[in-house]
A and B are shown apart, each in its own frame.
Chain A
Amino acid sequence: MAEAFKFELVSPERLLVSEQVESVVIPGAEGEMTVMAQHAPVMTTIKPGVVTVKTAAGKEERYVVFGGFADILPYGCTLLAESAVAVGDIDRADLARRIQEAREDAADAKDDEARSKAEQFLSQLTTLEGALLPA
């Protein structure tokens, strides 16, 4: 069994997870990454996606996060999510609303940079939706 380390998932409203885990898959802004114990210190922003947590007890839990960033240290990992919910509790309407908002943002964007950013965000959201809710 792999070495365990401390993982914390925090959203502004509350502390969702704080436990010993074996590995965590994080949807980093520049690609997904799996964090295990003794990882080199990295700080990365995260995009909307699914965080998969494998606890020390061997259970697997999945959470949906909407943006935020991760602070990875050899002895622990803290994920500060803008908002996070367990995959089981995801609200279809909420997701649809976010997508709608992102779409409006993309349409309203004033310059190219803002537009490409908004469109990127939108595509991330729709990918997420596709992954979560097989229609």
Chain B
Amino acid sequence: MPSLKDLRNRIASVKATQKITKAMQMVAAAKLRRAQEAAEAARPYSERMGAVLANITQAIGGGGDAPALMTGTGRDDVHLLIVCTAERGLCGGFNSQIARLAREHIRKLLADGKQVKIICVGKKGFDILRREYGSLILERVDLREVKTLGFVNADAIARKVINLFNQGGFDVCTLFYSQFKSVISQIPTAQQIIPAAPASAAAETSNGATAVYEYEPEPGEILSDLIPRNIAVQIFRALLENAAGEMGAKMSAMDNATRNAGDMINRLSITYNRQRQAQITKELIEIISGAEAL
């Protein structure tokens, strides 16, 4: 049975923890709003980009001059996975969910006899995947120093990926990130970016393509300029969604922690009070029985 003093210390320390988690929750809430705004501000660009891309692919009509980034190498042997996670923990299952999805993917690919390469964006995913697949990880992109995600960050990653592709480093590239659905729900998603997934292009053609365009310069040339940019945009969007998702997950995780700490304090206080009461009763009995003995 812990002494009264022990209990008092315990309560004080839980209270201190509760204060910290509460503060973290509030910080996450503030950051979430900003991240959400950024994600929303970036949406028009990627939507327009999708529409334009659909238009132009239709114009080319899958002709032979489509760049390799779009059609792929025609092989399916080496897979590059870009796993985007958060830089910090304490956000519930956010990072492990993404990592789990990636891990399942890797396992399946390896079982099929494919070669797998990994680029980790964010420290946490790297930490999780390193244990099992450390030898497959090519590179780790560190964004911890970055205060506000800019397009530049995504562009840098995209450039690396494209360089690697041009050197024949891989055939298929898949992006793993967490889609931000709402504050309490983030969906880990795998999205194929190289070669550009045909399904999404087909879906977009139906609404966008009405006009016969003139192209300046040639469609093929525009396309070869556009596709790398599109990859950067996709990565950028993934990073932004991730940032918003991380903050959402952190907020709910910290909210839970604060509530748990509150419950714990209640329980401890009850024990403390009971014990204090028991001690008082015991002392009283001792005094009374002492008085009776006289």
| Closest A residue to B151 using CB positions | A12
For A123, the chain B residues whose CB sits under 8 A away are none
User: Across the interface, which residues of A come within 8 angstroms of B225, CB to CB?
Assistant: 45, 69
As a 0/1 sequence over residues 216 to 236 of chain B, the CB contacts with chain A under 8 angstroms (1 = contact) are 110101100110010011001
Query: Within the complex, what minimum Cβ distance (angstroms) separates A62 from chain B?
Result: 21
Contact across chains for B222 and A13 when beta carbons are under 8 A apart: no
Q: With A and B bound together, what is the CA distance between A12 and B158 in angstroms?
A: 14
Contacts of A7-53 to chain B: CB distance below 8 A: 8, 10-15, 28-30, 40-45
Among A12, A41, A74, point to the contact of B42 (Cβ < 8 A). Answer: A12
Q: Which residues of B contact A28 (CB under 8 A)?
A: 216
B222–A45 CB distance below 8 A: yes
Q: Which chain B positions have C-beta within 8 A of A30?
A: 216-217
Query: Interface centre among A13, A28, A44, by most B CB within 10 Å?
Result: A13
Considering the complex, which residues of chain B in the window 78-120 have a beta carbon less than 8 Å from any beta carbon of chain A? Answer: none
- Nearest residue (CB) in A for B229 is A82
Cβ contacts under 8 Å, B151 to chain A: 11-13, 82-83
Complex Cα distance, B219 from A53, in Å, reads 26
Chain B contact patch, size range: 20 to 34
Closest B residue, CB atoms, query A14: B41
Give complex CA distance A57, B46 in Å. Answer: 29
Q: Which residues in A have their C-beta under 8 angstroms from that of B221?
A: 45
Find out whether the CB atom of B233 lies under 8 angstroms from the CB atom of A12: yes
A residues in contact with B219, CB < 8 Å: 43
Q: Which listed residue, A11, A73, A74, touches B45 by the CB 8 Å rule?
A: A11
Determine the chain A residues whose CB is within 8 A of the CB of B257 once the complex forms.
none
- In contact, A73 and B52 (Cβ under 8 angstroms): no
| Closest partner residue, chain A, to B215 (CB atom) | A43
Q: How far is the CA of A83 from the CA of B229 in the complex (A)?
A: 12
Task: Assess the B45–A10 pair: CB atoms within 8 A.
Answer: yes
CB atoms of B48 and A42 under 8 A apart: no
Complex Cα distance, B116 from A13, in Å, reads: 32
A interface, CB within 8 angstroms of B: 8, 10-15, 28-30, 40-45, 68-69, 71, 73-74, 78, 80, 82-83
What are 24 sample pairs from A and B whose C-beta atoms fall under 8 A apart?
Answer: A8-B44, A10-B44, A11-B45, A12-B45, A12-B233, A13-B38, A29-B217, A42-B213, A43-B55, A43-B56, A43-B213, A43-B215, A44-B216, A44-B222, A45-B216, A45-B221, A68-B229, A69-B225, A71-B51, A71-B52, A71-B55, A74-B211, A78-B48, A80-B48
Additional pairs, 11, CB under 8 Å, beyond known A8-B48, A15-B41, A41-B213: A12-B232, A14-B42, A15-B44, A42-B213, A42-B215, A43-B214, A43-B215, A43-B222, A80-B52, A82-B229, A83-B151
Give 3 closest A-B pairs by Cβ, nearest first.
Answer: A14-B41, A12-B151, A41-B211
